[in-house]
Structure 1
């Protein structure tokens, strides 16, 4: 009798445990499926300026290539300009009595953290302008620094600005220091990633991605199992570059989309141990070529509706007429079950007046106005705001409305098709090249 009671008690306990685990798993799955914007107020309470409505083209992809073309009406607008405020604030913090250094604010990474909008922007001291005449400023600094500050929902400063105290290697007269910051949070921890030229061995230099712990103020240099695939991807005699990683947070796990095509995804621990969990370059050996790998990294990927994440990438092309660079920005949607690229938009447009009133800093390399995306926040299911710099000159937040209709259609079509993986390696790069030739009415190198 005692054994029977014990057996039934054990069975009852197991049943209760199964029910508890089922409920917890269901709760976790439901929370994962909630879009990031449902967790807190992520809205910027600011006035929109220079609205620009247009039809955004784009394509979904399956195993063979393009599967569906989409055109949706969207509107972009300028909602906040960090410039010239942060350039002036940053300049105050440099010991430079003659004031003959020139400061630009680039790459405004943004994210919400504890109800505050955190900004980390690149402060670029334009030393390139002095190089041709060898007429340098009286005081020398590294070219690049990171500036941080926090703002409320009305974009009013709530902390003093500060230069992040990152001791960076000094290697050359031009090009030193941290550049292209991107913010991400894992649990309650806040990080900024950036790329930095450094030596890993004597005379073995690499422009590599680094994390900076924003709360404890120390660097984390990632260690990739098997080494960086970019070591042998550079042109002859050029320094290898491994940058533009796009963070993606799934639950409490940190991933990076290392490259968009070939599609490569890394899982990283918070102390910097990384390994590839998805690598399409293995099948073909194709890695990275400057004139072929057009679609590159951009903002972090933000959860829209699990398993779909949205980010904004940039593309780099070279005009056949004069070999000058041509930059564009594109919405990219990925799925994490399985990892694959779902959708890539045509180029994002902004009001022409923004380009017309913004000087082109590097006019000897670039002819055409551009935005360069590094940060994004989902304000609500229809609205995304993107931290960009314009023409290397100023840091802005551009808002995009019309997202809900676009994402609903993308998700509906993708779930009907249910591809098991993305398109063939190299397909999206060629698609980006060919599409932009038609849209821009220009010819690009390939």
Structure 2
């Protein structure tokens, strides 16, 4: 009888089951991220998966796609408005302020990893539940920190063996610059208002910088002629951007200046950047991005305290790893598959298997009382390097037969020597 899964019990659209074989690649990439952060002295922080909705409205910006259209928001049983986190920075800043970390010696360097949630149109590398690796640094306005954060991201991609990842950078100025530039954009786009997408028309007077980020073909074409923010930087913003470029040059980080890069969040000041890589089949080649947010800590009730960080989409990292056929050094298979023949051998086998595992060997055995031939097939399917065969007679003699599957060679060793024998050859 064929089993057909009920639609009632199918996975929600835009989410994924990460299966054995895939999970190991994720674990490897996550371990690389943690190792890179350790080298740069960044400490891990873990914040809740849901927060009060107002946190994201205030921190991310009410005129952003995330807040307007993409958040998973609901009321809890106490009638409080809560949302699944759509990004990581707001929660990290909230923790920094709530725990009064700003009163401690600065800078504070943190990183995070975990699931985020946005109600988007699912496609390759863009899921409704997705995962991010991000870093946040508080307490310094030094452009050297902007460069360090960008360099850390590039270092992470290089550690994975990814090729052709580049940084695109821009300055979005300080509040003074953005106020002037906002008026310049409104002045430019107003004559084209009827030709803009409905979404861009809605943003024209609320947040015209976001029009530069539009995916609508006609709007993108019009935006190409918009004034450049780099032509409207004041002296502090211009100096910050020039110093950032000097640090990136010194660090050997390749970058491209993109004066249309504004990012999709309202909290950025000065530096904005994206990590780019070509991924055929994905709508965009952005694999991560971030920037400086000097007013966000203050916005959440803390003192005036600068910050800078990034978020990298791990689903897109996995796409790039697959597309570039990166050789992932994930260990597969068993060190030893234990075959037991006879009741006494089966009972003792439980002890022997336990000892192998405690000695650091990957080991398994049959639990279905299959014949010898079927057990060898199972060992082959599980990619075992060795099969150890223990019968009642061998147990009495204190011996066990060990067969190396790759060569077919078989030896008889003493039971107490089995583990050293396997470890020496694993």
Larger Rg: 2
Q: Which has the larger share of helix? A: 2
Is TM-score (shorter-chain normalized) higher than 0.5?
A: no
Alignment TM-score, normalising by the size of structure 1 = 0.24
Greater strand fraction, Structure 1 or Structure 2? 1
**Higher-RCO chain (CA-CA 8 Å, sequence separation at least 6):** 1
TM-score normalised per structure 2: 0.25
